[in-house]
Structure 1
């Protein structure tokens, strides 16, 4: 696979988010101040869904389950598994720090396209 039409642009409102399925992947699309970011909807720590995660002012998404935070544009780790106290630190050590998978996006013909090439 390569570039795939994911969603009509009008279906992702300003500041909104939506999960789309492309092949076997669930991809979270986020409108971040007009820029469309596409990331794997599974946190790389415990593979839990990120859709309901908090978006921070600096453009990170925070896992709603254990509060690891990842940059939506680059996937880089901002915070690794700080929650719950004590247990989070142990879980963070069990699983090595991993970046969040990100996918290039573009707008074409009023649709959001995602490059999911492997």
Structure 2
């Protein structure tokens, strides 16, 4: 199976530097992509800032009682483990890996992909 390769971006030196809103969601731009960094029940997660269903801004959403991120437009909820829409509609939200290390907090963006030859 193909192993994914990531380019890692440092997004903060420490967790306290991340300025989360009341909804525990922060939108940032990394590698030319708008990404939501989220303080979850289990730590930190990251996902695409745009809902795959209707393009809602996920940073304006909220976390439900199960720790899923919920789109503010139609209330579609997405699981951070796999990006799957838990309401069963078949949509997937792009999830980005986050690693907390001694040197800081890092977010991975997949290298290559379908259109990598365009670079």
Shorter-normalised TM-score: what interval?
0.7 to 0.9
Q: Following superposition, which runs of at least 4 residues in structure 1 exceed 6 angstroms of deviation?
A: none
Counterpart residue number, 1:98: 91
* Residues 11-46 of structure 1 deviation map (CA, whole Å, 9 limit, x = unaligned): 237872211101221110111125110100110112
TM-score scaled to structure 2, two decimals? 0.74
Cα distance in 2, alignment partners of residues 111 and 69 from structure 1: 29
Cα distance in 1, alignment partners of residues 81 and 43 from structure 2: 9
Gaps of 5+ in 2: 1-5, 112-119
Q: CA RMSD in A?
A: 2.2
Counterpart residue number, 1:5: 10
Counterpart residue number, 1:89: none
TM-score scaled to structure 1, two decimals? 0.75
Cα distance in 2, alignment partners of residues 80 and 49 from structure 1: 20
Gaps of 5+ in 1: 82-96
